[in-house]
Amino acid sequence: MKKFRAGFVMIMGNPNAGKSTLMNAFLGEKISIVSPKVQTTRHHIKGIVTENNYQIVFSDTPGLLLPKYELHKSMVEEINSALSDADLVIPVVSVFEKETEWTNHAELLQGVKKPKLFILNKVDYFKTEEELTEAINKWKVFFGIDELIAVSALKEINIDKLKERIVELLPEHPPYYTEDELTDKSQRFIVSEIVREKIFEQFREEIPYSSEVIVTDFKEAEDIIRIYSSIFVERESQKAILLGKGGSAIKKLGISAREECEKFLGKKIFLELTVKVKDNWRNDKLVLKQLGYK
Ligand SMILES: Nc1nc2c(ncn2[C@@H]2O[C@H](COP(=O)(O)OP(=O)(O)OP(=O)(O)O)[C@@H](O)[C@H]2O)c(=O)[nH]1
Ligand SMILES: [Mg+2]
């Protein structure tokens, strides 16, 4: 009989590399929010895949960054916590990245004394085999590695092959989670992330970065879930933008967030959003703690 393999696999990389999209592709379910803007993910989010003979516990992590705010320091801690748990680290590079975007992290990567499997993502962008081979060779030389798996997380190209390779690299170990567990995060957390994703979609410039979302109440009845959520911004002017003329912007946000929550929770949702100003929350350790950061 084949032995059971299980382990923790950390997905790391620059902002916007497609880490969250990749984790969702592995899970076949949207657990981690995605946006075309950088620094979307702020937490270490686990996604669990269990099959007959293996369990992979993926960790999606924030993009590698040099901290400017207390919030960023907390994001770096989230990265470090995933790193310390990991049996395997998968650095993800997108085809749009330049080598210089990895020079800052070379030391970090070298310090990781764990098995690594490098991934090149977004290869759907290439039109020819030559372009693909050239890019693979370029990154192999840069990282000094023999193996680099090219995938498209978005178009789900090579995802199964990558999953097989990951399983080969995992230790023999009994499962860490029960078969029905998909993530370590609560439904409340994922709802707050969905609201944040819709803020990333709908608003520009500093608004997504100045916003944080918490679910204050989550009441499940037989036919409906009533969810009350607060959005924190840093200034009155940002609150005015989130609300929009006559409340039109917040209404639009509420509708798109509710629709996505209904897909995720499979139930009718009532969603109430309230916007609050919390001065400088990104630099306030106490407030960050209240918002669920380390
Ligand atoms: N063309 C293409 N786009 C992709 C692919 N994977 C992800 N994307 C897009 O890249 C953007 C960033 O994706 P995310 O998954 O949010 O990236 P991330 O690495 O988690 O970003 P952060 O959380 O900000 O660090 C989104 O617009 C995705 O749709 C891919 O394989 N091909
Ligand atoms: Mg992400």
**pLDDT single digits (tens) 107-125:** 888 889 999 999 999 999 9
**Listed residue (179, 164, 213) closest to 33, CA to CA:** 213
Ligand nearest to the CA of 91: 1
Sequence-distant (≥ 6) Cβ neighbours of residue 218 within 8 angstroms: 187, 188, 191, 225, 226, 227, 228
Ligand nearest to the CA of 17: 1
**Hey, what amino acid is at 78?**
E
For residue 74, the model assigns a pLDDT of 94
Mean pLDDT of the residues in the chain: 96
Q: Are 17 and 96 in contact (CB under 8 A)?
A: no
Q: Residue 193 C-alpha to ligand 2 middle, in angstroms?
A: 11
Alpha-carbon span 68 to 252, nearest angstrom:
31
pTM given for the model: 0.96
Domains observed in the chain? 5-168 (3.40.50.300), 187-290 (3.30.300.20)
State residue 259's pLDDT score: 98
* Nearest residue by C-alpha to atom 9 in ligand 1: 18
Ligand 1, pocket-test mutation among 12, 16, 33, most atoms within 8 A of CB: 16
76 exposure class (CB count in 10 Å sphere: 0-12, 13-18, 19+) = middle
Q: Whose CA is nearest to atom 13 of ligand 1?
A: 18
pLDDT per position as a tens digit, 184-206: 999 999 999 999 999 999 999 99
